[in-house]
């Protein structure tokens, strides 16, 4: 499979880019967030890609960041969510917002994505909640806590029986409501109240 495309950008539109590599122009479907960071035409460009092979077509989907690619890869694993719908989601929301909405169980916001109905949104939450939570680089949801402290608090909350998604949601809430709570003990105590 094709892991990435690196070459000269010859066309860019909000939904598609063409990158010429070794004399071949590769059409790559992209989210608008990737379009916004593409270089000028004629400049070198590199996109991480997902190569979708079906009976009637082969398509490349490209991403400027690993976060976009990771969220896309998880989303297409959900029944009823294909590459085009996952791309539409990344065009409507940032990867971190999609992660947050799924982890928080906010199906109402997910239904605002074109093509996502109530049942699809609920299925995404059910199937992806823990996997999206595990993708999060900033598990506490903010910069006021030290990463090791947040990881310790997360591990302790899971040891106490909370799921990964519930623990992350609780820590995110603590971080928003109590920015002064910087020790793992304080974070755990406050998270258990949420």
CATH number of the domain that residue 113 is part of: 1.10.150.20
pLDDT value of position 151: 77
Instruction: Out of 26, 42, 63, pick the residue that ends a domain.
Output: 63
- How much is the pTM? 0.71
H/E stretch holding 125 = helix 118-135
Instruction: Out of 63, 91, 110, pick the residue that ends a domain.
Output: 63
Distance between CA atoms of residues 87 and 75, nearest Å: 9
Residue ranges making up the domain that contains 107: 66-135
Distance between CA atoms of residues 85 and 151, nearest Å: 33
pLDDT value of position 9: 97
pLDDT value of position 85: 93
Distance between CA atoms of residues 104 and 91, nearest Å: 20
Q: Which two tokens stand for residue 75?
A: 């989303």
C-alpha of 69 from chain center: 7
pLDDT value of position 146: 55
Low-confidence ranges of the chain (pLDDT < 50): 137-145
pLDDT value of position 139: 39
pLDDT value of position 176: 81
Residue 92 lies in a domain: yes
CATH number at residue 21: 2.40.50.140
pLDDT value of position 138: 43
Q: Are residues 32 and 71 in the same domain?
A: no
Phi, psi angles (nearest 5°) of residue 93: -140, 155
pLDDT value of position 30: 96
Distance between CA atoms of residues 49 and 63, nearest Å: 6
Question: Per the structure, how many domains does the chain have?
Answer: 3
Say which residues have a Cβ less than 8 Å from residue 100's Cβ, sequence separation at least 6: 106, 141, 172
Distance between CA atoms of residues 160 and 166, nearest Å: 12
Instruction: Out of 135, 166, 184, pick the residue that ends a domain.
Output: 135
Distance between CA atoms of residues 16 and 136, nearest Å: 27
């Amino acid at each position: 499979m094709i892991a990435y495309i690196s070459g000269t950008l010859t066309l860019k539109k909000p939904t598609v880019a063409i990158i010429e590599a070794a004399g071949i122009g590769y059409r790559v479907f992209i989210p608008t967030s990737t379009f916004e960071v593409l270089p000028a035409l004629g400049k070198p460009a590199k996109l991480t890609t997902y190569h979708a092979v079906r009976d009637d077509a082969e398509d490349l989907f490209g991403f400027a960041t690993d976060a976009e690619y990771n969220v896309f890869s998880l989303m297409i694993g959900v029944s009823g969510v294909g590459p085009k719908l996952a791309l539409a989601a990344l065009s409507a929301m940032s990867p971190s917002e999609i992660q947050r909405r799924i982890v928080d169980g906010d199906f109402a916001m997910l239904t605002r994505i074109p093509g996502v109905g109530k049942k699809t949104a609920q299925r995404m939450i059910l199937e992806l909640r823990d996997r999206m939570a595990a993708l999060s680089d900033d598990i506490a949801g903010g910069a006021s806590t030290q990463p090791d402290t947040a990881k310790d608090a997360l591990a302790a909350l899971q040891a106490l029986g909370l799921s990964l998604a519930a623990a992350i949601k609780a820590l995110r809430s603590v971080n928003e409501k109590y920015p002064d709570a910087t020790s793992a003990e304080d974070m755990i105590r406050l998270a258990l109240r949420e």
